[in-house]
Amino acid sequence: MTPRITLHELTLGYEGRVALQDVSLTIEPGALLAVVGPNGAGKSTLIKALAGLLAPLRGRMEGLAGARVAYMPQQGTLDRSFPATVLELAALGLWHETGALGQLTAAQRARCQAALVQVGLGDLAQRRLHELSGGQMQRALFARLLLQDAPVLLLDEPFAAMDERTCRDLLALLRGWQAQGKTVLAVLHDLAQVRQAFTQTLLLAGRVLAYGPTQSVLTPQNLLRLRMPDGSGEPAGMACQGAAP
């Protein structure tokens, strides 16, 4: 069951330094929520806290205790020199079934291969991670998310520097997860993409500036306060152009 997530006066930071303060809001099950704001606004900090990787300085979170949560960090934080194959990376999504040292059964291996086919990497299962383009690596990470099959998915800049085709394919997966009743939170920078694909938006600037339906959050007035470009005239997927598929 997908939980309702409630934050009560949540304050987050590192080594006593506050990055995000006094966040109080409720995320309903099945939300497709974009987390938006300028650099240093606390977006990644919030995602890490929801993933259980960062303890609050103050306040509390409700709804996530005991729930399975899938977290995808920014691609730049991953070590792609590790000698693993694409299939082995995807198979980490079955950790909740296999455990740390568990061997894949034939059925589980077939599920991993099916997930790779679904994200367009069916013929790259034995490719090493360091051989992948940025877009291919992101597809592999989405295959891992598919196999985790968690009710709550947290993605930190999942479309950064992706080509338009990859963005389109992976956005379709997000919509599919929402249609299944899963909650999806994604840190994004492309406001045109947010307007096109995300029904709700959380606008941060070290605190909550606005939260609710996307059209009521990404107003010129709110974006002007943050000195963020409006983005309304940008083509969808603009931030994804120019990268390798």
**Residue that the structure tokens 């300085």 belong to:** 57
**Helical packing angle, 134-148 and 106-118, nearest 10°:** 130
Phi, psi at 7, each rounded to 5°:
-110, 130
For residue range 128-160, list pLDDT tens digits in order: 999 999 899 999 999 999 999 999 999 999 998
Which residues, in sequence order, are bridge partners of residue 7?
Answer: 25, 61
Check residue 242 and give its pLDDT: 37
For residue range 76-128, list pLDDT tens digits in order: 778 888 889 999 999 999 988 887 667 899 999 999 999 999 999 999 999 99
2: DSSP letter? P
Q: Where is average pLDDT lowest: 165-169, 194-198, 208-212, 231-235?
A: 231-235
Check residue 105 and give its pLDDT: 93
Residue 5, pLDDT > 60, answer: yes
For residue range 7-23, list pLDDT tens digits in order: 999 999 998 899 999 99
For residue range 22-44, list pLDDT tens digits in order: 999 999 999 999 999 999 999 99
Segments in 65-124 forming alpha helices (H): 86-91, 95-98, 106-118
Instruction: Confirm whether pTM is higher than 0.85.
Output: yes
* Cβ neighbours around 172 below 10 Å, total: 11
Domains of the chain in sequence order: 1-67+151-245 (3.40.50.300), 80-150 (no CATH)
Q: Which residues contact 10 (CB under 8 A, 6 or more apart)?
A: 20, 22, 23, 24, 49, 56, 58, 59, 60, 61
Residues 209 and 177: beta-carbon distance below 8 Å:
no
Residues 148 and 72: beta-carbon distance below 8 Å:
no
3-state secondary structure of 19: strand
DSSP 137-152: HHHHHHHHHHHH--SE
119: DSSP letter? T
Question: Which secondary structure element, helix H or strand E, spans residue 223, and what is its range?
Answer: helix 220-226
